[in-house]
Amino acid sequence: MHFSQIIGQEHSKEYLLKLIHENRVPHAFLLAGPEGNGKLALAIAFAQYMACHNPAANDVCGVCPACVKYQKLEHPDLHFVYPVVTSSSIKKPVSRDYFPQWKAYLTESAYVSVQTWMQHLGSENKQPMIYAHESEAILKMLSMKPYESEYQVMIIYLPERMNIACSNKLLKLVEEPPQKTVFILVTENADQILATILSRCQIINVPKIATEVLTATLQKQFGIAEGEAQSISRISNGNYTRALDMINSNQDNAFYLDQFITLMRLAYKRDIHPLKKWSDEMHAIGRERQKNFLQYTLRLLRENFIMNLNTENLNYLTVDEQNFSVKFSRFINERNIMQLFEEIEKAQRHIEQNVYGKMVFFDLSLQVILLLKS
Ligand SMILES: [Zn+2]
């Protein structure tokens, strides 16, 4: 991982490089910040810079034997600990059990999230953890001296998901670290980490990616228009992982916006026959997309309500959504917003309970007619 591959975060890069240049690398530090801001990528770039045989002033060389191994995540002095899941064949999982998958996942992109990691493992519905027995694996990994570099580095991704017994053992290691070892903890919820561990680590806050930096990156990487890139940056709130997800699902969003506009227009006009037809069409799209549409509708109603309150800078809308909402938002107000939410949530429950889709959406559209009038 080159520092130059990391989006923005110039301040953090500078600070980390300074630690190395001034020979002040702490034996344990914490990179803390929101999801999708590149803090794990920073941790890897930092470790690689320390191992690089021929570093430039502000980046790795990328070609020395250490860099080559780092880029494949195969350097013997680089260790990872990360949340994992149990499975029918792995009852007591440790990070090492999933290393081939982790390597493949991380090589694809160092912008990670629990959700995409679980998707990669095909375990979307599981809550991954760092289990108690991981502590033995950590001790084993660190029992040797560094093989090829001056330091060995252990990157712990999401230590807030670590079992308490394991955390206590980690505390001992952080208190009395093995020689020539650097721990880098990468966290999204520092307040959920043992206070005694926190007090032993230098804490470095890594902010979300600046909106204008993310906008420029999305334009360059995906060739999308400035306006669209801007709205994706804003909605994803500086989270690159989420921005990628939005770009991939934009087609579906356009479909949901279209359905939302149809429903609201027909309900406003009290056009019962077309609404009946619309309900039949919604029935046909299948349960998953029905649920996504209802979730989308909740978000758009909320944004329109906020827009109506004139708090423009709180708005998270794409350009197309904005174009519609400018005129529509005046219909969403304190007299109907709560009831609209309740009706959508009722429809969500009914879809979950397998109530006939045609009925659910037709009932919903009748309620929308009544509520738009208030
Ligand atoms: Zn190098």
Q: What is the pLDDT of residues 27-37, one digit of tens each?
A: 999 999 999 99
Cα 82 to ligand 1 centroid, rounded to whole Å: 25
Q: What is the mean pLDDT of residues 110-126?
A: 90
Cα separation, 6 vs 4, in Å, equals: 5
Q: Measured between alpha carbons, how far apart are the two ends of the chain, in Å?
A: 56
Domains (range + CATH), the chain: 3-207 (3.40.50.300), 249-372 (1.20.272)
Q: What is the mean pLDDT of residues 70-80?
A: 96
Cα 15 to ligand 1 centroid, rounded to whole Å: 20
What is the value of pTM for the model shown?
Answer: 0.74
**348 contacts 291 by C-beta, under 8 angstroms:** yes
The CA-based diameter of the chain, rounded to the nearest angstrom, is 76
- What stretches of 158-256 adopt beta strand conformation (E)? 181-187, 202-205
Q: Which residue has the higher pLDDT, 128 or 231?
A: 128
Cα 33 to ligand 1 centroid, rounded to whole Å: 27
| Long-range CB pairs of 99-106, under 8 A, 24+ apart, other chains included | 103/72, 103/73, 103/74, 106/40, 106/73
Question: Quick one: pLDDT at residue 230?
Answer: 86
Question: Quick one: pLDDT at residue 229?
Answer: 86
Cα 83 to ligand 1 centroid, rounded to whole Å: 29
Q: What is the mean pLDDT of residues 250-273?
A: 90
Cα separation, 229 vs 211, in Å, equals: 10
Cα 60 to ligand 1 centroid, rounded to whole Å: 5
The angle at the Cα of 208, spanning 205 to 213, to the nearest 5 degrees, equals: 125
Q: What is the mean pLDDT of residues 191-209?
A: 96
The angle at the Cα of 29, spanning 22 to 213, to the nearest 5 degrees, equals: 80
Question: Quick one: pLDDT at residue 319?
Answer: 82
Rg, the chain, Cα only: 25
Q: Is the dihedral of CA 50, 52, 54, 60 positive or negative?
A: negative
Say whether pLDDT at 70 is over 70: yes
Rama region for 355: left / alpha / beta (φ>0; ψ in -120 to 50; rest):
beta
Cα 66 to ligand 1 centroid, rounded to whole Å: 6
Cα separation, 70 vs 127, in Å, equals: 29
The side-by-side arrangement of strands in the sheet containing 202-205 is 78-81, 152-157, 181-187, 28-32, 202-205
Cα 355 to ligand 1 centroid, rounded to whole Å: 60
Q: Which residue has the higher pLDDT, 150 or 101?
A: 101
- The pLDDT confidence band at residue 71, using thresholds 50, 70 and 90, is very high
Cα 58 to ligand 1 centroid, rounded to whole Å: 12
Q: Which residue has the higher pLDDT, 91 or 313?
A: 91
Cα 68 to ligand 1 centroid, rounded to whole Å: 7
Question: Quick one: pLDDT at residue 228?
Answer: 76
Question: Quick one: pLDDT at residue 311?
Answer: 67
Q: Which residue has the higher pLDDT, 144 or 11?
A: 11
Cα 6 to ligand 1 centroid, rounded to whole Å: 17
Question: Quick one: pLDDT at residue 353?
Answer: 92
Ion ligand 1 — residues with CB under 5 Å? Answer: 52, 60-61, 64, 67
- The pLDDT confidence band at residue 203, using thresholds 50, 70 and 90, is very high
Cα 61 to ligand 1 centroid, rounded to whole Å: 4
Question: Quick one: pLDDT at residue 357?
Answer: 93
Cα 92 to ligand 1 centroid, rounded to whole Å: 37
Cα separation, 260 vs 257, in Å, equals: 5
Question: Quick one: pLDDT at residue 223?
Answer: 84
Cα separation, 289 vs 284, in Å, equals: 10
**321 contacts 315 by C-beta, under 8 angstroms:** no
- The pLDDT confidence band at residue 320, using thresholds 50, 70 and 90, is confident
Cα separation, 227 vs 276, in Å, equals: 36
Cα 51 to ligand 1 centroid, rounded to whole Å: 7
Q: What is the mean pLDDT of residues 244-249?
A: 82
Cα 150 to ligand 1 centroid, rounded to whole Å: 14
**80 contacts 157 by C-beta, under 8 angstroms:** yes
Q: What is the pLDDT of residues 86-102, one digit of tens each?
A: 999 999 999 999 999 99
Residue 59 phi/psi, 5-degree rounding, is -160, 165
Cα separation, 321 vs 307, in Å, equals: 12
Cα 12 to ligand 1 centroid, rounded to whole Å: 20
Say whether pLDDT at 227 is over 90: no
Cα 149 to ligand 1 centroid, rounded to whole Å: 12
Question: Quick one: pLDDT at residue 149?
Answer: 86
Residue 75 phi/psi, 5-degree rounding, is -75, 130
- The pLDDT confidence band at residue 224, using thresholds 50, 70 and 90, is confident
Question: Quick one: pLDDT at residue 113?
Answer: 93
Q: Which residue has the higher pLDDT, 318 or 78?
A: 78
Cα 266 to ligand 1 centroid, rounded to whole Å: 62
What is the average pLDDT score of the chain?
93
Say whether pLDDT at 312 is over 70: no
Question: Quick one: pLDDT at residue 147?
Answer: 83
